[in-house]
Amino acid sequence: MRWAPPWVQALVAGAVSALALPPLDLLPALLAYGWLVLLLLDAPGWRSAWWRAVAFVFAQAAVGLHWIAIAFTVDVERFGPLAVPAVFLLCVGIALIQGSVVSLLRLRSWHSPLAAALAFAPLWLLGEWLRGVIGQFPWNLVGYAFADWLWLAQGAALGSVWWLGWLALLVGTLPVALRLPRRQGLGWCGLVLAGLAGLAWWGHDRLREPTAFTETRLRLVQAAFALDHGFDHIRMQTWFFDQVRWSLEPLDAPVDAIIWSEGASPYRLDTDEVARDVIASLLRERGARWLLTGGDRLAFAADGRLLGVNNSLFAIDPDGAVGARYDKVDLVPFGEFLPLRPVLERFGLDKVTAGSIDYVRGPGRRTLDLEGLPPFSPLICYETIFAGRVHAAVRPDWLLNVTIDTWFGDSLGPHQHLAMARTRAIEEGLPLIRVANSGISASIDAHGRILERMDLDVVGVRDVALPAPVEKTFFARNRWLLLAISIALGVVLAVIIEFTSGRQRS
């Protein structure tokens, strides 16, 4: 492959690989990972392999995450000039973490390209895991390439999106077969494609099970309020009462709860009795038991000292009381708090949300058990992107995701976020109700099927029957067992193939 310098090829391959992810879903683009493996094998040493790996990951991140720059235009005077540098630095950070891990493949001169391909998969997954740990940003994992291919996405019920990632990387490294003897190459391609076909068959059979519903009915309110005018409190008060009006639209059948999005209330619902009285009147008028809505609250220490702000979900009853509350645990760096604030403030940096007070973490995941509703686990905003971390020890009957995706406009971001949310439903065997202020709101069953949907920038109301959970999935019962077994078998197979190839050459 001499049409361009290797680092340019790596950039192109990385950009192509991003096309496999939602919402583009071009599965053949996975073959770009095989292109990267070949570039690494052809590198004269580890240093050149490092540059190629970093270039690949940087281009993938730039194509898949460029939409983050839109968030900086919400308050364009303060943050607009930071949009491009911030996204560039984010992509550089991801590239340095993941590229450095992947480049370790070249520390060995491989006798067998197939063994190298088998070793590449766990290295890539390790890089994804590290950037999730270091940066708390496990976004656009390679396993999400199967998220919108619902037959294949059912594999998340076996081993999560991480196991799907392992399988996707095996598919992606098929170009390595070009470097193998003809019979071995055909055998490897046949084995991987047969495994993919087997998963699709199993997924198709699993999806033959019809959606079951509970007796619980919910009203989802998508307000479609914009943030492009900054954080105008008067405007947000108008949106609050608009949501009240939309919630009062005629019902086909009674509902048990009305759900608004993250940040839907500009009032401190823990202290503002007037706002709660308005909500109580709404609930009595509609005959609903609860209104579930996102809002902020001030967090104080036991000695009265202000700690920060909680991003919370409130459950308000017809008497205007707060029946339960959940405080968000996984906070967005730079969105909800400024990391290393004493240092970064000196450079004029701040978080992109309103106010200079940081949000603070809640005490942990909670399963809310409210009278008249099946127990549920609240997930605020990007808390849906963490596989295996979506509920407390007590398994709920459903997941509730409230979010603000307006930050990212009509871009790839909201579609990627939805794909991750539905993957959590498949992993856990739990239905997921999603209310986003400007879309995409949805009712998703325990197999990841979208039953109701309100698209981006649509003001709307949907009355939905809550889907029922299914029995615990293999992943819900065993967590990372299948992933661990798969990686271990792949590594053992790589060692055997490499050892055999080395003996044949000698």
Domain ranges across the chain: 6-207+480-505, 213-469
Record the tokens describing residue 160, joined without a space: 């999560």
Distance CA 431, CA 375 (A): 12
The class of domain 213-469 in CATH terms is alpha beta
Share of the chain above pLDDT 90, in %: 70
The answer to whether 56 touches 36, Cβ cutoff 8 Å, is yes
Q: Is the model's pLDDT at 427 over the cut of 60?
A: yes
> Pick the residue with more confidence: 408 or 17?
17
Burial class (CB in 10 A: 0-12, 13-18, 19+), 300: exposed
The DSSP annotation for 355-385 comes to SSSPB---S----B--TTS--EEEEEGGGGG
pLDDT single digits (tens) 228-282: 544 566 777 788 888 999 999 888 889 999 999 998 888 899 999 999 999 999 9
pLDDT single digits (tens) 95-141: 999 999 999 999 989 999 999 999 999 999 999 999 988 878 899 99
Predicted pLDDT of residue 229: 44
Compute the mean pLDDT over every residue in the chain, rounded to the nearest whole number. Answer: 90
Could you tell me the strand order of the sheet in which 306-316 lies? 322-327, 306-316, 290-300, 257-259, 213-222, 460-467
Give Cα separations from 16 to 21, 27, 60, 98 (angstroms): 10, 11, 7, 17
Query: Rounded mean pLDDT of 205-214?
Result: 96
Q: What is the DSSP letter of 331?
A: P
Q: Is the model's pLDDT at 90 over the cut of 90?
A: no
pLDDT single digits (tens) 290-340: 999 999 898 888 888 888 889 999 999 999 999 999 999 988 776 666 655
How many other CB atoms sit within 10 Å of the CB of residue 462?
19
Task: Please list, in sequence order, all residues whose beta carbon lies within 8 angstroms of the beta carbon of residue 194, skipping any fewer than 6 positions away.
Answer: none
Confidence category of residue 223, pLDDT binned at 50, 70, 90: confident
Q: What share of the chain is helix, strand, coil (3-state, %, to 5)?
A: 50, 15, 35
Q: Is the model's pLDDT at 348 over the cut of 70?
A: no
Q: Is the model's pLDDT at 17 over the cut of 80?
A: yes
Distance CA 491, CA 505 (A): 21
| pTM for the structure as a whole | 0.92
**Which residues are annotated as catalytic?**
262, 328, 381
Predicted pLDDT of residue 22: 95
CA 215 to chain centre: 29
Of the candidate ranges 64-78, 294-308, 326-340, 459-473, the one whose mean pLDDT is the lowest:
326-340
Distance CA 461, CA 71 (A): 26
Of the candidate ranges 222-226, 423-427, 442-446, 476-480, the one whose mean pLDDT is the lowest:
222-226
Q: Is the model's pLDDT at 346 over the cut of 90?
A: no
Q: Minimal CA–CA distance to 127: which of 146, 147, 99, 151?
A: 99
Share of the chain above pLDDT 70, in %: 92
pLDDT single digits (tens) 353-391: 555 577 888 999 999 999 999 999 999 998 999 999 999
Q: Minimal CA–CA distance to 87: which of 66, 58, 73?
A: 66
> Cis link prior to 440 (omega < 30° from 0)?
yes
